[in-house]
């Protein structure tokens, strides 16, 4: 979720950057037309300088956001890798299989039918197990 938020934020900033660059191109065209007409270009040049500064700032923000995204992705990969490795205790799994699971499964092989009736009261749970075995 956080990664998606960062990706959307980067996309938004890239769209804003494209808009700023389009505004710069438009302003440069206006300045060149004013120069051809020998008119004052100072206000437009000031606005152009501001837009160029905003563009540079936006580029730096995008680069920073991309680096932050890479760091977050790496952190997430590390967490996933550690959780996969740390949760599995293979000797313990082997003990559970050999001492619990396999004996229960072997015991169930002899049963032709099983049934359980449970009654739940306020303070008591009554459980009856019915079994039909074959030997």
For the segment 56-99, what is each residue's pLDDT rounded down to a tens digit? 999 999 999 999 889 989 988 888 887 766 667 778 888 988 99
Q: How far apart are CA 14 and CA 96, in angstroms?
A: 54
Contacts of 31 (CB under 8 A, 6+ apart): 41, 44, 45, 48
pLDDT tens sequence across 93-128: 889 889 988 888 887 777 777 788 888 888 888 888
What's the predicted TM-score (pTM) here?
Answer: 0.56
């Amino acid at each position: 979720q956080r990664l998606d938020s960062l990706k959307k934020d980067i996309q938004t900033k890239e769209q804003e950057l494209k808009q700023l660059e389009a505004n710069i191109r438009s302003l440069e065209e206006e300045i060149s037309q004013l120069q051809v007409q020998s008119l004052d270009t100072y206000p437009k040049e000031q606005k152009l300088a501001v837009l160029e500064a905003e563009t540079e700032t936006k580029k730096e923000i995008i680069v920073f956001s991309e680096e932050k995204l890479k760091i977050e992705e790496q952190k997430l990969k590390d967490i996933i890798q550690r959780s996969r490795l740390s949760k599995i205790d293979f000797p313990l799994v082997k003990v559970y299989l050999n001492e619990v699971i396999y004996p229960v499964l072997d015991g169930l092989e002899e049963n032709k039918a099983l049934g359980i009736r449970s009654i739940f009261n306020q303070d008591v749970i009554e459980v009856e197990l019915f079994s039909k075995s074959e030997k």
